[in-house]
Structure 1
Amino acid sequence: MFCCLLLLLSLAVPNLLAQDSCLLPGMPGIPGLPGRDGRDGLPGEKGEPGSSRDAGGRLKGETGDPGPDGFTGKRGASGDPGQAGAQGMKGQPGEPGEPGEGGVPDTAAFSVALGTTEIPDIGTAVRFTKVFTNLHDDYNTQSGRFRCRVPGTYYFVYHASITDNLCLKMMLNDTQLASFCDHRSKRRQVTSGGLAVHVDLGQDVFLEPTEHRNMRGHRFGYSVFSGFLLQAD
């Protein structure tokens, strides 16, 4: 119906204008249908940066002044060792030192006696408990062993007062160095034996009796074991 009305108006208006050109302007026409969208325009200029906001959406304020220093924290764990640096240049020779005293050569010597009338046990070190000389306590009166503190060549010797048969073994740790035997028939005698031997640091030297162990100590006749360093390594 709207289209028919538009058609009648289009026919009537020219006739009216032809009859009298001095008539007043007609009524505004009905608005037309909406046109199509125009083409996209050119991109606009970049705007000013916006205000920064924190995680809660609040505006970020300006940076404040630095606060006071806090307390010293605990020491952290040590880091891995760094690589060795390059060798530095050789320094200048130092001034000569003050004259020193001559060094004292290492010494070792002991001389001990059997301090009991009891016969020593078979297969164990003879314990000489009466001390005449014992430098640096190298001979142990409790164990009956001399322990080497200064490696080198030593001389060991024993003198035993006996009234019967006696056989002694001179031992270096678990190794037998020599065996000395003297057989007497109920007569008081003195027997002896000695040996020069190289001893390493920490090794033990001692006398060990066999089944013939008639070895006693008393004021009328001591049994003595001695040793001393001939030459250090």
Structure 2
Amino acid sequence: MLHRCFMVIGALLSLAVSPLVASESCQATGYPGIPGIPGLPGRDGRDGEQGQKGDPGQLLHGAAGPEKGAKGDPGLPGFPGKRGQSGEPGGAGGPGIRGVAGEPGEHGTAAVQQQAAFSVARGTNDYPDRRSVIRFTKIITNINNDYNSATGHFRCRVPGTYYFVYHASVDDRLCVQLKMDNTVLAPFCDHRRGKRQVTSGGLSVYLSRDQEVWMETTEYRGMRGTANGYSIFSGFLVHAH
């Protein structure tokens, strides 16, 4: 296609040149010709030689930034994390503080129950005081020291039914009272005089833990306590509850 264009252009030029040549032969001076058609682009030239190494650039430091800002407010608490794995068991702790004593336990079996019994004698030949606790100071039997010879009282340690009995050697009128926690359980009296004899009395009673039983005189107190005639006070557990 380009070749055809050049052929057309060449034909046109030849037609235009012919009159010019004819006229040039006729005139002394001619007109400037028409500019030629631009040629085809030339090929790229060869690469030039490598230039010299340039000077190193300058290292520029920027201005210092602003100072450290103030501490911000705490953020909102995050969601609870997942439960981690259980750790190894810890060592045994030290002993704790001793606790308060508990209530008395239930009664055990008959094979392991503690028994309660006492027998005590009047250890003097003197009459006891009027309207006072009779103290029996000579111990014959006293399991677990339930009878207190200093006070003349028996204190219940094992709740249950007890039997109490006294045997008194007398040579004068005698009236005694068997008492429990200041309540008279039974009075016993012997008003015979002038002849030494023995009088006695007894009864059974239920006692709760820490209740106390003892004997007291009234106005008549003719109770002896010699080697030839003891006055004895006894008690024992019949059935524990």
Could you state the TM-score of these two structures normalised by the residue count of structure 2?
0.55
Distance 1:103 1:196 in 2: 23
Q: CA deviation at 1:123?
A: 2.0
Aligned ranges 1:42-191 → 2 under 5 Å: 50-52=66-68, 103-191=111-199
Greater mean deviation of Cα atoms: 151-160 or 102-111: 102-111
Contact 1:166 1:215 in 2 (8 A): yes
* Aligned amino acid, residue 115 of structure 1: G
* Aligned amino acid, residue 138 of structure 2: K
Equivalent residue for 2:210, pick from 191, 197, 202: 202
Contact 1:171 1:208 in 2 (8 A): yes
3-state SS of 1:143 partner: coil
Distance 2:131 2:168 in 1: 18
Distance 1:211 1:49 in 2: 114
Q: CA deviation at 1:216?
A: 1.2
* Aligned amino acid, residue 143 of structure 1: T
3-state SS of 1:215 partner: strand
Distance 1:230 1:219 in 2: 30
Unaligned runs of 5+ in 1: 1-47, 56-101
Q: CA deviation at 1:52?
A: 1.1
Unaligned runs of 5+ in 2: 1-63, 72-109
Partner of 1:225: 233
Partner of 1:94: none
Give % identity: 54
Distance 2:145 2:116 in 1: 9
* Aligned amino acid, residue 235 of structure 2: G
3-state SS of 1:207 partner: strand
Q: CA deviation at 1:155?
A: 0.0
Contact 1:106 1:232 in 2 (8 A): no
Q: CA deviation at 1:54?
A: 8.0
* Aligned amino acid, residue 192 of structure 2: R
* Aligned amino acid, residue 66 of structure 2: G
Equivalent residue for 1:213, pick from 203, 221, 224: 221
Could you state the TM-score of these two structures normalised by the residue count of structure 1?
0.57
- The structure having more radius of gyration, on CA atoms, is 2
Q: CA deviation at 1:50?
A: 2.3
Q: CA deviation at 1:49?
A: 6.4
3-state SS of 1:128 partner: coil
Q: CA deviation at 1:173?
A: 0.9
Q: CA deviation at 1:194?
A: 0.2
3-state SS of 2:224 partner: coil
Distance 1:131 1:216 in 2: 16
3-state SS of 1:220 partner: coil
